Amino acid sequence: MRLSTYFLPVLKETPNEAQIVSHRLMLRAGMIRQSSAGIYSWLPLGLRVLRKIEGIVREEQDRAGAQELLMPTIQSAELWQESGRYDAYGPEMLRIRDRHDREMLYGPTNEEQITEIFRGLARSYRDVPKILYHIQWKFRDEIRPRFGVMRGREFLMKDSYSFDTTADGARRAYYKMFVAYLRTFARLGLKAIPMRADTGPIGGDLSHEFIILAETGESQVFCHKSFLEKDPLALGLDYAADLKPVFDDWTHDYAATEEMHDAAKAAALGDDLVTARGIEVGHIFYFGTKYSKPMGATVAGPDGQPVTLEMGSYGIGVSRLVGAIIEACHDDNGIVWPESVAPFKVGLVNLKSGDAETDGMCEKLYAELTAAGVEVLYDDRDERAGSKFATMDLLGLPYQLVVGPKGLKDGVVEIKARAGGDRETLSPEAAIARLTA
């Protein structure tokens, strides 16, 4: 992509309404535009990141055996009356009437919807276990939206739902999602810590929040320092195996949010206690028959008798993650994207647009890298070098490939790693080899 033609409205100054760093940087980097309180448009650069995150979330769900479908954003009130949540949910749910005066709602979550689908189409115990998920926009009319996309009213969520006929089966599904979440957040470049959670209005008796540590996090969290050294990607990947040992390994050390905090247990850790700020990016629940029972979601058991389904639900805040990643990955000059979610891998900086030799080398590098499948944002604008460096640092692409007349005189270009700032001077051929490696 050429910056001269890209719709990337970069701001030099920080808009007044943005208070936290991720919101400021997203606005300055031209990723989003606010539409109204807690509702945002995603501009091209922001959308690229959102899609990358979505892709990783999807891959890990699929790998764990979950199957993607897509449910509507607009739901009928009837289902929610069946589960009893239509009244319980309160004003946070956006209620709508259609032209026939039928009560509808914009879905804040989809337990009822998926339960309706499953009860209507699954007949036998042979139809389980299943984990179904979708990645869909939600609307919750939050009392106070804030922090940009971190707590929007409209947000993109990955929500999975598991169906089993036994509590044991449901726990196996829970463990699968637990492991999938560990892997997902690790791939996103985040240190996510599972913490025992309150089940809240969704209900149930087993629940974990996945919290990432960031100085600007919303809530106080406490955990054993062992979590900081664990690497989920080092785990084996056998979802058919018994995952309870993995679950136990990740839950036996102390980790809690403020609400679930046990001061005595924490104090017992002594120097091993880490106190930090955290952002909730995922939440998983095992809630048994909370919805299946009132909604009559059963399948025939081996003996022909109906069995009420055991369910769980598993959410990841996809759009929140864009902000959360920035909270965890930035410096004074701007965003520092983990490579897995960066909107482009390489920022090609032409230090002297209009200079035939520099232009020529940039075009060559741009063409060859692009042909090799590397995503390149080429700053071909007629701007001063300082301005281009500042823009690239703000955008936070992992590598800056800097091409200028001084270097070309010696036949070299420069690669700067955004994280850490290491610079390396090398030949154009070596640079291509390095960036396509």
> Which of 30, 38, 288, 398 forms a contact with RNA (CB under 7 A)?
38
92 binding RNA? (CB under 7 A): yes
Considering only the stretches 31-39, 45-53, 79-87, 294-302, report the one whose residues sit in contact with RNA under the rule CB under 7 A: 31-39
Under rule CB under 7 A, residue 83 binds RNA:
no
Q: Does 142 bind RNA (CB under 7 A)?
A: yes
How many distinct helices (H) and strands (E) make up the chain? 13, 23
Options 307, 407, 431, 435; binder of RNA; rule CB under 7 A: 407
In the complex, what is the shortest distance from the CB of residue 292 to RNA, in angstroms, rounded to a whole number? 19
Closest approach, Cβ 26 to RNA, in A, equals 13
Contacting range for RNA; rule: CB under 7 A; set: 14-22, 269-277, 293-301, 371-379: 14-22
Stretch that binds RNA, among 98-106, 179-187, 261-269, 402-410 (CB under 7 A): 402-410
Q: In whole angstroms, what is the distance from residue 246 CA to residue 176 CA?
A: 10
> Which residue in 399, 402, 395 sits closest to 334, CA to CA?
395
Which among 239, 227, 243 has a CA at the least distance from the CA of 186?
A: 227
**How many Cβ atoms sit within 10 Å of the Cβ of residue 208?**
24
Q: Is there binding between residue 340 and RNA (CB under 7 A)?
A: no
Does residue 360 bind RNA (CB under 7 A)? no
Q: Please tell me whether residue 54 adopts helix, strand or coil conformation.
A: helix
Using CB atoms within 10 A of its CB, is residue 5 exposed (0-12), middle (13-18) or buried (19+)? exposed
Site for RNA in 146-185 (CB under 7 A): 146-147, 150-153, 155, 157
| Spatial distance between the Cα atoms of 114 and 208, rounded to a whole number of angstroms | 21
Among the residue ranges 54-62, 118-126, 165-173, 396-404, the one whose residues contact RNA (CB under 7 A): 396-404
Helix, strand or coil for residue 236? Answer: coil
Strands 94-97 and 103-106: antiparallel
Alpha-carbon gap, residue 393 to 388, rounded angstroms: 9
310-329 binders of RNA (CB under 7 A): 315-317, 319-320
- Interaction of residue 11 with RNA, rule CB under 7 A: yes
**Contacts (Cβ under 8 Å, ≥6 apart) of 320:** 149, 150, 151, 152, 155, 279, 281
Residue 15 touches RNA, criterion: CB under 7 A: yes
Which residues of the chain form contacts with RNA (CB under 7 A)? Answer: 10-17, 19-20, 28, 34, 36-38, 92, 140, 142-147, 150-153, 155, 157, 198, 200-202, 209, 218-219, 280-283, 315-317, 319-320, 333, 351-352, 354, 384-387, 389-391, 393-394, 402-408, 414, 416
